[in-house]
Structure formats: structure tokens, C-alpha cells
Chains A and B, each alone.
Chain A
Amino acid sequence: MRGRPRNNEKLVVEISSGNLPEKKTLSDRIRDSFSQVPLLAWLCGILVAVLLERFLGDPFTELLGLPKIPALFGALTILRKPLLIPGTMAFLLLIYILPIIIVLRLCGPVLNRLAGWLFNLSSAVSVVIHLGLLYGILYLWSDISGYRLLTLKLTFIAVIVTLSLNVINGYMGEFSCSHPGFMALGAYSASIFTLLFFVDDKVFGSALLPEFLGPFLFPVALIFGGLVAAIGAIAIAVPSFRTRGDYLAIISLAFMFIVKSLIENLEFVRGPRGLSNQPNYVDLPTVFLWTVAAVWIINNFVRSTTGKALNAVRDDEMAADAMTVNTRRTKIVAFLFAAFWAGVAGGLFAHVLRYVNPSTFGIQKLAEVLAMVYFGGLNSVYGSIVGAVSLSLLGEALRPLEIFKWIIIPLLLILVMIYRPTGLIAFKEFNVMNLISPKRRK
């Protein structure tokens, strides 16, 4: 009882001094201190962390009693051997969290000024430097183990596939199920291209072109795969875009199964046994550059007025038509465009695993891609990147749980659908200039 008048007094004093809403929670304070940090500083911080891991990782693991450097931020180690939790946590804290915080604290303002200087100098140079740093981080991180490298490559491919499906299911607002089919077309076409021209093998005979040309012509193989997928997409687009509604979902689902059983029955691509021996052309820079190109081109498209016509068609087709938008052309172009990128992703996929068979491109793949799109967020490039990266990494990280993985991931999806029905980051424009610009005090 005695404390009460005092509290009142304090309140009065605060009001009179005019700084009443100064009550900040811890999370507010953390957010405040990080809101001034430019992307450049984050990248530098993470780069320091991966450098530390690269050069001090092994002594640290020995010191902390870990069998080896935790591959996916300790998730696998923790789930397999719970006794190693303290060691893994200490490793993460010492190698990742502390160095990043120190860099942000010490160099944040300097790097912010540097980011501003770069931005004013030339935004293109600034973008290239940011991408260079990102690549450096990924290179150092994935250099630790082959497992990391494979996971990273598959994650990049997932980003391309998710983004291209988002063009149809998010931006255009139709429901397409044919993406595994497009991936299959791309994967097989690109594989046939490279196997035919650059590899001596049993299926297609000896190489038609000298082997050293292979890496240079590999982009042609991928584009060829994408184009074949886009031609396949015409078969869906022409009949199903006369009207709106569920037709596309049904026709595209049928298309997926047709492609799968077609390949299973084609003996010249060895049917259900699949194609193997693809040349090892997809190293980290290749898949990184293709992903950057896909994000850049798709983002360009959806931000142009031509691309935004998709949103107009989705939200009200009759109004779009009355406002001079050629709705049918808009829909078909976007569908073929999305199929093209799915085909490119399929080609990359085949050359990362260096083996494809038709059963990879079935209903499970479809569920995976749809989950990434809807988890990340509709109508949003950010959303697709977040969705693809988080679900790919989560899928790997939860692997030790075996069957429970397939309970946890769907559960997460259900939660997202309940609390954010359009996905984590939906309806947000991906503006690279905002991303790389220096942060100003509010």
C-alpha cells in the first residue's frame, strides 16, 4: 500500500517531462538497434562468421567435444544426440551469433555510410557488391562439406521453382498443378541435350561435339529445357484460359500425370529407370547465377505494368478487359513464362543430382512446391524466397526425426494458414533499391 502514492508521483513527473511512451520492451529495443543496420553490414557480419568457421571451426569443435562442424546450424546434431546440445549451442554462439553482433555493433555506422556512398556512386555497382558478398558467404559456408553444398544447390533450385509457380498461383490467381511436369520436361530435355552432345554413354552413343564446349553451351541446354517446358505449357494454356475457375487445376493435374507416364513409357530415355551420367556442369556459381537471373527477370516482369496486368486479371477480369488489357494474351504469356523457369529449374536439378527418373516428378514434388508457395506468401517475390529457403532447410534439418518430419511440416503449414492465410510475406513488392540503400534514422 505504501508504494502506491510513489507510483502516482512518478507517473505525474513523467507526464510533465513529456516522455511518457518511453517504456520499451526488450524486443522493441533489439528491433530498434537492428533497424539502423544496412544489408551490407549484415552480409559483412555473416562473412566474418563463416570465415571464423572456416579457419577456427575445427579447433572449436574439438574443444567443445563435437564430432564435426554442425552442418545445418546444429539442427541435425541436436536431434540425433541430445547430449551435444550445450556444445552445439556454444559453437553457434561463439562462431555465429557473437561475431555477427560484434561486427554489427562496431562497424554498423561505418558500413552504413559506405552503403550510402556506394548507392550514390552507382546502384548497379552496389548490387554487384552485395551479390558478391552473398556469393562469398555461400561459397565459404558450403565449402565445409559436400552435404552443405548439395543442400544449398537444391535450395536455389527450389527458389526458382517456387517463384515461377507463384507467378501463376499468386500473381495470376489461378491454381496450377503442372509444375512437376514442367520440371520433368526441362530436366529430360536438358539431360538429353548434354548427354547427346557432350558425353559418351550407352543411351545416346558417343558425344557429337567436343567435350570442352560443354560448360559453355550448358546455358543453351537449360534454355532448351525451358522452351520445351513452355511448349508443353501451350497444351494446357490454350484450352483452359478460355474461362476461369477450376478447369486449369484439373487440366494441369492431368498434364502432370501424362508427362510422368509418358516418360515412364519412352524407351529411348530408359523409361522408369531414368537417365544418369549427366555431366557435372552445375557448380555453385552456375546455380547461383541462374537463380539471380531468375529472381531478377521474374521480379522485373511482375513489377512492370505488363506484369501487373496479371493482378488486374485476377482481381477483376471484366474490368481489366474494359481497360484495354488483352487478358487472354496476358494469361498465356505468364503461364508459358512460369513454365519456362520451371523447365530451367528442372534442367539444373537433373545436373545437380546427375540422375533423373520420372517418379521424382510426381504428386509429392507438387505438394512440396505448393507448400513453399503458400507458406512463403502469394504475390510476393520475398515470400517465395523465404518459403523455398525455409522449407528446404527445415526439411533437411528435421531429417533425423524421420516420420515425425511429415507431422511437423504440415502442422506448420496449417498454423500459417490459420494465422496468415495468404502466407508469411504476401503482397509485398521486392524492391532491390530499398534493400541495398543505407538505413536512415527515423
Chain B
Amino acid sequence: MPLLQINNMSHDFGGLRAVNNYNLEIEPGQIRGLIGPNGAGKTTVFNLVSGIYTPTEGDILLNGQSIVGLKPYQIATLGLGRTFQNLRLWRHMSVLDHVKMAQYSKISYGLLGAFFGTPKRRREEAEIEEKAYGLLKLVGVADLADQLVVNLPYGDQRRVEMARALATEPRVLFLDEPTAGMNPEELIQMMEIVRLVHREFGLAIFLIEHRLKVVMELCDIIQTLVFGEVIAEGSAEEIQNDPKVIEAYLGKETIL
């Protein structure tokens, strides 16, 4: 059984069909990529799966269970972690608090613990703090734990966001343009981190990318989305040589 299965998912924004008949199957441990020109609907696919929008048609199964209509936090608790194209970090919170916050669903001390500082709360807070430090160390920003995220350079903010997504203990991790706005050096480091978390946690990863270099190197199977429809699916090589993909990115070859 695939870990995540999307069957004939479509979504309309008013009269505009943003995603049409989208299908996807992700097996545990797979890395898959989604490419496509601007406005093709890639982020919409992410938002549909993570529950920010509800699809007009179709079904989404996470681990065999339908997640259509669930709230985003419920879907996240079921094991779907994600990052955002534009980071969406919490500007007044410290790096450590970010990673602690993402473990919200594991907290069981309840309101009583929150109000009165019971021993159970102290124990649980210590546990999630330790785990948070572990994740920060993994992505290489443990020494910045007490800093506010807004004071961090862009590359480090991306790392914090990655640690935050991992803290939700996902089984599938959705990465929305993880290397957007990065210089070549940061890009290579980011790819290392993606490989590392894939190896470390055996995660299935689904990523949107604009830079073909990244998808080509990381992904097993790549889909190309144009105007809400998948026009090609296959290995990096197949995609690279597919005339429809080339057309979508570069336009039709005309001989004068």
C-alpha cells in the first residue's frame, strides 16, 4: 500500500480549474519531485493535500485513511509535514521555541499543566526541548537556539524551518521550493540536509522545485505540472528529454 495516494484530485477557484485530475502515489522512503512553470498549480497541490484547501473532487489517502475535509492540524498530526515557499516563521519566537511548538500535538499535560506548572509539564517540556535540540543539531543551527528567527540569515532560517517540519514527526515531508532564493553554496548545503533527513528518518519526500539541478539530483520520479495537469511523469532523464516538458518551459520549436 502506498503511503500517500491521491486519486483524481481536482480543484476549482471559482470558474478556474487550478488542478485537474491529479494522481500521485508515494511509497515509503521515496523522493518525488514536482516541477512546472510559474502558476502551474504546484503550491495548490500542496495546499490541497495539507488541508488548507479542500479539493472539489477526488480523494486523498494517507496511510490508507482518507484525509479529505480534515483540518490542517489534524492532517499534520497524522504524519504529513510541510515547509512553505515563503518560510512562514514566527517572527517573535526563538529558534528553539519554533521546534518545540511543532511538537504541540505530543503535549499531554493539558490546561491544568499549563496553568499550574505541574511536574508532568516540566518533564514533558524538558523532553520536547531535548528533542528540539537534537533536530537543531541535525540541521546545524543548535548554537542559534536562543536567537529570534528574524535575526538569522536566510539560509539558517531555511534550516530552522526544516527542523520545525521534522519536529511534527512526519512520515511524508512536503518541501515547497526548499532552495528558493539561495546562493549556490547554500543550495548544496540544503540538498545535503534533504539527503540527510531522508537517510536519518527514512522519510518519503515530495518536493516542488524550480531548479532542475536539484530535482534531477534528488528525486527518483518527477512529475511535470502545466496549467494544473500532469503532462509528464518519469525519471530525471525521461523528463529532461520529453518534448512536452521542453515545450512547456522553452516554447515550441519552429523552423523558419
Residues of A within 8 A of B93 (CB): 308, 311-312, 315
Partner of B114, one of A304, A321, A322, A379: A304
Residues of B within 8 A of A305 (CB): 97, 100-101, 103-104, 107, 125, 128
- A371-414 Cβ-contact flags toward B at 8 Å (1 or 0): 00000000100000000000000000000000000000000000
Known A318-B52, A324-B76, A324-B102: A304·B113 in contact at CB below 8 Å? yes
CA distance A309 to B128 in the complex (A): 14
A360 at the interface (CB under 8 A from B): no
A306 at the interface (CB under 8 A from B): yes
Are B102's CB and A323's CB within 8 A? yes
Contacts between chains A and B (CB distance < 8 A), count: 102
Q: Which residue of B lies closest to A321 (CB)?
A: B72
CA distance A333 to B111 in the complex (A): 9
- B102-132 Cβ-contact flags toward A at 8 Å (1 or 0): 1111010101011111000100010010000
CA distance A305 to B99 in the complex (A): 10
Interface centre among A297, A304, A307, A311 (most CB of B within 10 A): A304
Are A318's CB and B88's CB within 8 A? yes
Interface centre among B91, B103, B117 (most CB of A within 10 A): B117
Known A304-B125, A316-B88: A324·B117 in contact at CB below 8 Å? no
CA distance A269 to B63 in the complex (A): 59
Residues of A within 8 A of B82 (CB): 322
Are A297's CB and B73's CB within 8 A? no
B133 at the interface (CB under 8 A from A): no
Are A324's CB and B73's CB within 8 A? yes
Residues of A within 8 A of B199 (CB): none
CA distance A312 to B94 in the complex (A): 11
- B64-92 Cβ-contact flags toward A at 8 Å (1 or 0): 00000001110011000110100011111
- A291-335 Cβ-contact flags toward B at 8 Å (1 or 0): 000000100110011111101101110111111111100000100
CA distance A308 to B132 in the complex (A): 15
CA distance A324 to B103 in the complex (A): 7
Distance in angstroms from B149 CB to nearest chain A CB is 10
Distance in angstroms from B69 CB to nearest chain A CB is 15
A430 at the interface (CB under 8 A from B): no
B159 at the interface (CB under 8 A from A): no
Are B92's CB and A427's CB within 8 A? yes
Are B113's CB and A325's CB within 8 A? no
Residues of B within 8 A of A322 (CB): 50, 52, 72-73, 76, 81-82, 84
Are A315's CB and B91's CB within 8 A? yes
Residues of A within 8 A of B91 (CB): 315
Distance in angstroms from B139 CB to nearest chain A CB is 16
CA distance A308 to B96 in the complex (A): 12
CA distance A325 to B113 in the complex (A): 17
Residues of B within 8 A of A300 (CB): 114-117
- A242-272 Cβ-contact flags toward B at 8 Å (1 or 0): 0000000000000000000000000000000
B164 at the interface (CB under 8 A from A): yes
CA distance A300 to B84 in the complex (A): 31
Residues of B within 8 A of A309 (CB): 101, 104
Q: Which residue of A lies closest to B82 (CB)?
A: A322
Residues of B within 8 A of A315 (CB): 89-93
Residues of A within 8 A of B88 (CB): 316, 318-319
Known A306-B111, A307-B114, A312-B101: A324·B77 in contact at CB below 8 Å? yes
Residues of A within 8 A of B109 (CB): 304, 306
Partner of A324, one of B90, B104, B121: B104
Are B114's CB and A327's CB within 8 A? no
Which B148-200 residues have C-beta < 8 A from chain A? 164-165, 167-168
Which A323-376 residues have C-beta < 8 A from chain B? 323-327, 333
Are B76's CB and A323's CB within 8 A? yes
Known A305-B107, A305-B125, A315-B90: A320·B114 in contact at CB below 8 Å? no
CA distance A113 to B113 in the complex (A): 33
Are A323's CB and B168's CB within 8 A? yes
Distance in angstroms from A178 CB to nearest chain B CB is 21
Residues of A within 8 A of B117 (CB): 300, 304
Residues of A within 8 A of B71 (CB): 321, 326
CA distance A379 to B97 in the complex (A): 15
CA distance A320 to B71 in the complex (A): 12
Distance in angstroms from A233 CB to nearest chain B CB is 15
Distance in angstroms from B162 CB to nearest chain A CB is 13
CA distance A5 to B128 in the complex (A): 64
Distance in angstroms from A422 CB to nearest chain B CB is 10
Could you give 19 example pairs across A and B, Cβ below 8 Å?
A297-B115, A297-B116, A304-B113, A304-B117, A305-B107, A305-B125, A306-B107, A306-B113, A308-B97, A311-B92, A316-B88, A321-B51, A322-B52, A322-B73, A323-B73, A323-B104, A323-B165, A324-B73, A325-B101
A-B residue pairs, 3 tightest by C-beta: A315-B90, A324-B105, A319-B88
Extra A-B contacts (20), CB below 8 Å, given A304-B114, A309-B101, A311-B92: A305-B128, A308-B100, A312-B90, A312-B93, A314-B92, A315-B90, A315-B92, A316-B90, A318-B84, A319-B90, A321-B72, A321-B76, A322-B52, A323-B76, A324-B168, A325-B73, A325-B104, A326-B73, A333-B111, A379-B92
- B interface residues with partner A (beta carbon < 8 Å): 50-52, 71-73, 76-77, 81-82, 84, 88-93, 97, 100-105, 107, 109, 111, 113-117, 121, 125, 128, 164-165, 167-168
